[in-house]
Structure 1
């Protein structure tokens, strides 16, 4: 159970299900998209899996930079996707502290016409 840094999306889902927290939202929204589920603390919003965001998990997850994730449309022609992750981040080693690893999450949503 869990990851190196925190419980996974499915770990939290299983705990909420086991302790019947999801029953708090039985009369509220039930139309979470992309595998999300109603947030027991605020039934008008969904808890979304990695890569999705918004109140109903129907939007791409908020990214952490201009080159880090976006919506793209596939075409019949080859396209090149380039991204640089890890440059100019607001954290890093200092004289008094070693470098701290913090994950950067980038999500590209590719749709077809």
Structure 2
């Protein structure tokens, strides 16, 4: 027998799960949700607070450019990541194409553990999105499963820049 007498789902049993996008009730406060990355707010239906913004896709490609990190840090690693959260939105029923235009050189390692961009085009938003961190990724295009695509830029080393082109179809 385990020493844990109950789980979050036990404590919140019988209450409607109002959490969106695969979020789940907080075990100490069933009125709040624990959200997948790229989502925030009480019910996981908002862009997380902090840097980033919501951009609206059009039928023609637009450019989203993000610079993140500490230019003065050199190659000294930080323990914590700086993160920015963007949402690319489109009208209901439309899909979004996101194409990598460019990424800063010098941070590409397996797993993109120093810096990168995460693009969440999966149907199941609980999953980690596709991660990119190399200039060689330019030209890759992803198509969304819905009309909202969270884009998370992250960095724990020197300054990096990513440029993405996006549109809806």
| 1:26 matches 2:13 | yes
For the 8 Å contact 1:71–1:108, the answer to whether it is kept is yes
- 1:28 Cα shift? 2.6
Higher fraction of helix: 1
For structure 2, the 5+ residue unaligned runs are: 1-5, 92-169
For the 8 Å contact 1:28–1:44, the answer to whether it is kept is no
From 42, 64, 86, give the equivalent of 1:81. 64
* 1:15-54 deviation digits (Å, cap 9, x = unpaired): xxxx533210113341210110001100000000111000
How many residues end up aligned between the 2 structures? 85
| 1:110 matches 2:97 | no
SS in 2 for 1:23: helix
SS in 2 for 1:84: strand
For the 8 Å contact 1:29–1:38, the answer to whether it is kept is no
SS in 1 for 2:62: coil
- Which contiguous aligned blocks of 4+ residues in structure 1 show a shift greater than 4 angstroms? none
- TM (normalized to structure 1)? 0.64
- 1:40 corresponds in structure 2 to 27
- TM (normalized to structure 2)? 0.44
For structure 1, the 5+ residue unaligned runs are: 1-18
